[in-house]
Structure 1
Amino acid sequence: MTTLDELQGALRRAGVDALWISDPSNVRAITGFTSGKDGKVLVTPDGATLYTDARYTVQAAGESSVPQFIARPPDTYLHAAPALKGLRVGFEADHLTVVLLDDLRDHWPDSTLVPVRGLVQGFRLRKDERELDAIREAQRIADAAFTQVRPLIRPGVTELEIALELELAMRRAGAQSAFEIIVASGPNGAKPHGVASSRVIGHNELVTVDMGAQVNGYHSDMTRTVAVGDPSAELRRLYRAVLEAEEAAVAAVGPGVRAADLDHLARDLLTGHGLGVYFAHSLGHGVGLDVHEGPGLRGTSEDVLEPGMVITIEPGVYIPEVGGVRIEDLVLVTETGHEVLSQSEKEVL
C-alpha cells in the first residue's frame, strides 16, 4: 500500500499542494477501503481524508487506514474547502468527469485546480508481498478452473457454456471472475476482445479462452488457445508462430528491460512469419488492482521493467474469416529475471 509520506512527496515534485483522488483503485490503494467506487480521498500537506457516504460507515471504519468523513456532495466539498484555500489542488485528469470537475470549481473557488496523471498509479507499479500473495492466489484459482473445464471444450458445446463453467469454477474456489471471460471459437477467434457467444464450437477448430480471477481486489489474467479435433495446417502454423513469439518474449523478461523492446521482439518474430500485420494490439500490460494498468508493453512505451512488477505477455494473430490465436502468461519481474505465474498447460500443435 502506498504510504502517505511517499504520495505527499510526489505531489510536491508534481507542483501541487493537494490531490483529489477519484479513481476507485487509487482510493483503495491509498486507504484500504474496498468500495473505492463510492469513495474519494483528499490528500493535503497535513494528512488525508476518506470521503464516503453513510452506507459505508462501519465498513470504512474497519478498512480505512486514514480518517473518514461520512457525507454526500455537496457536504463533501464544503468540508474539504477550508483546508484547500489558496492551494494548488491536483485532480485525476484520466478519471474525473467534466460534470464533477465543474462541481469542484464551484465549491473550491479559492483553489487552483490542476490536472495530473499517474501520480498514484506510479506507486502501484511494484507489488509488495501482500499484493503478490493475492495475485498468486488469483492465478492459482484461474489455473485450476481452466484445468477443470478444458475437457468440456469440444464440438457441440457453446462458447457461453464454457464461459459459465469457468466462472462457476472460480466462484466455487472463492474468487470472482476478473473480467468478462472470452471464449472465441473458429472465426470468432479473429476478434481479440470478442465475448463468449451462443456459437456452437465445431470440429477441427481453435478456441481462444481469455480469463482471470480476482482475489482481495487483485487480478490475474491468462489466455490459452486450444485445439478441438484436427485443425488445418494453416491454423497450426498460426499457433506455432504465436507460441514462438510468446515464449521468446517471456524468456526476455527481466529487470532493466525496456517494455518497448519486448513488444518489438514478439512483433518482429511474427513479422518474420508473415503475420505481423495481424498482431493488432500491444504485447501486454501490468496487472494488479486493475486488470489493465502500468507498465504498458507497447512499441512506444517508455516504461522499464523493475522487480515486483506483474505483467502479461500476450501476442496474438487475428485473421478475418479464418480465426485467431492468442497465448498469454502472467509474469512477475524478479531481482534476477522473472517468474511465470500462470501454469496452465499450453498445447503443442
Structure 2
Amino acid sequence: MKLHQLMDTLPEGVDCGLVLSDINRRYLTGFRSSAGILAVTREKSYLFIDFRYFERAQREISGCEVVLLLNIYQQLADIFAKHNVKRVAVENYSITLDEFQTLKSNLKGVRFVENTLFNDTIDCMRMLKTPEEIDKILAAQAITEQAFDHICGYLKAGVTEKQVAYELDSFMRAHGADDIAFDTIAVAGENSSSPHGVPTDRKLREGDLLTMDFGAKLGGYHSDMTRTVAIGSISEEAEKLYNTVLQGQQMALEFLRDGQHGKQADKLVRDFFDSEGYEGAFGHSLGHGVGLEIHESPNLSLASTTVLREGMVVTVEPGLYLPGKFGVRIEDMVVITPGGCRNLTRCSKALLHL
C-alpha cells in the first residue's frame, strides 16, 4: 500500500508528515475528498476528515485510522504526544504561506522542518507508476482514442474549432469518461501556431492543418494525446513541417529508456529541429509526467534534473509552430522500461487528409 510505503520511507529528521492537498491524500489513501489532513508517522497514520466524508471514509479506507475532524489543532497535538513527535514536515502542494503560518502558530512544542525532503519522497513515489496505475491510464487513453476515431469521421470544411472541441468532449463523456482531462485544444490554420490556443468560431477550411490536444479522465487518472490532421490537400511546406515533427518524435521514442535524462531527450529533438532550419520554432518542453494530474513530474525539458526510471509515464510531444501560418504537434504517452519505452498510445501518426 502506498501509505505504508511512505511511512517506511519518511525522511530522516521527520517524525510526522502532514499531507494537506486533495491530490496527494487521494494518492495515498485512494479516497477522494475536498478537505482533510493526513498525518503520517512511522508507527501509524491518521486521516482527519469532516462529517461530510466521515462515514464513507471509514467504510472505504484501510491502512490508517479515520478520525472525525473536530478540533484539528488539539487532535494533532494529541497525536504528536502519543507518538513523541518533535519534528513535523508539511507537504506543500497546495498550502499557502498564510495557512502554513496559522498551522505553526497553533501547534506549539514541535519544530517544523523547512526543507523539501517530505515533498520529494511523495514526488518520487508518484513518478513511479504501479501496473494498476498504468492500467487506469490505459483505460482513459482507450476512450481518448475512440474519440479520435469518431472525430475523424466528423471533420470537414465549415465545422468550427469550438464544434470540434465540443464533439470530442461530448463523445468522451458519453463513452465512459468521468470528465475530460483538461480543456480541449482544437486550433486550425493560423491559429494552430499557438501551442495552447483556445478554440474559436473559426471554420475549418480546405488546406488547413488542425491540431487537437485532448484526453479523458477516468478513475482519477488522465490521458493526454495530440494529433494534427489535414483538411483536404495541404501545402508542401505544411507536409514538410509535419514530417519533421514526426521524425523528431520518433528519435525521442527510440532514445527514451531507464537511466536516460529527460533533458537529454529534449535536447536531442531540439537540436534536430534546429538543424532542419526551425530554430526557435519549438518553444515548449518535449514532455511531462501524467497520472492523477495532467501535468506532473517528471519533465522532459532542458531544465529537468530527473533520471528516467522504469515505470515513469511521460508524454512525448514535440511541436513546430510558424507564426501566422500553422503549427504541428504530435503527442503520445509512454511508460519507461529497462530497454526503452512502451507506447501507451495506439493511434496512427500517418498524416490524415480528411
Band the TM-score falls in, shorter-chain normalisation: over 0.9
Tell me what 1:304 maps to: 307
Structure 2 counterpart of 1:19: 17
Q: Distance in 1 between matches of 2:3 and 2:279?
A: 43
In 1, Cα distance between equivalents of 2:132 and 2:59: 18
What letter corresponds to residue 255 of structure 1 in structure 2?
A: D
Match of 1:102 in 2: 101
Change (3 A) 1:62 1:180: farther
Is 1:53 paired with 2:55? no
Give yes or no for contact 2:7–2:43 (8 Å, CA) kept in 1. no
User: How far has the Cα of 1:235 moved from its partner?
Assistant: 1.8
Partner Cα distance (1:200, 1:88) in 2: 60
Mean Cα deviation higher: 106-115 or 294-303: 106-115
The AA in structure 2 aligned to 1:140 is: A
Superposition deviation, residue 7 in structure 1: 1.6
Residue range with higher mean Cα deviation, 262-271 or 331-340: 331-340
How many angstroms apart in 2 are the aligned matches of 1:182 and 1:40? 35
State how far apart, in whole Å, the 2-side matches of 1:142 and 1:120 are: 28
Query: What's the TM-score once normalised by structure 1's chain length?
Result: 0.93
**SS across alignment from 2:129:** coil
How many residue pairs end up in the alignment? Answer: 344
Q: Report sequence identity in percent.
A: 38
Separation in 2 of the partners of 1:335 and 1:97? 39
How much has 1:63 moved relative to structure 2?
2.7
The separation in 2 between residues aligned to 1:285 and 1:320, in whole angstroms, is: 24
CA contact (8 A) 2:104 2:112 kept: yes
Task: Tell me, yes or no, if the aligned pair for 1:308 and 1:332 is still in contact at 8 Å.
Answer: yes
Q: Which residue number corresponds to residue 351 of structure 2?
A: 348
Q: What residue number does 1:31 align with?
A: 29
Contact 1:26/1:121 (8 A) holds in 2: no
Q: Which runs of 4+ in 1 moved over 3 A?
A: none
Q: Give 1:22 deviation, angstroms.
A: 1.7
Q: Give the C-alpha shift of residue 16 in structure 1.
A: 1.7
Inter-partner Cα distance in structure 2 for 1:44 and 1:151: 55
Unpaired runs of 5+ residues, structure 1, are none
Instruction: Tell me the SS of whatever aligns to 2:2.
Output: coil
SS in 2 for 1:307: coil
Greater CA drift, 176-185 or 232-241: 232-241
CA distance, structure 1, for counterparts of residue 68 and residue 201 of structure 2: 45
| SS in structure 2 at match of 1:154 | coil
1:280 Cα offset (Å): 1.0
For residue 76 of structure 1, the aligned residue among 72, 85, 90 is: 72
Q: Distance in 2 between matches of 1:237 and 1:226?
A: 13
- Could you give the per-residue CA deviations for residues 198-230 of structure 1, whole angstroms, max 9, x where no partner exists? 222222111110111111111111100111122
Aligned residue in 1 for 2:113 = 114
Distance 2:203 2:60 in 1: 45
- Tell whether the 8 Å contact from 2:160 to 2:200 is kept in structure 1 after alignment: yes
Contact 2:228 2:351 in 1 (8 A): no
1:2 alignment counterpart? 2
RMSD: 1.7
Select between 135-144 and 316-325 the one with higher mean Cα deviation: 316-325
Instruction: Determine the C-alpha separation between the residues in 2 that align with 1:63 and 1:254.
Output: 37
Query: 1:40 corresponds to which letter in structure 2?
Result: I
Following TM superposition, by how much is the alpha carbon of 1:248 offset from its aligned partner in structure 2, in angstroms?
Answer: 1.0
Unaligned runs of 5+ in 2: none
Which shifted more, 286-295 or 189-198? 189-198
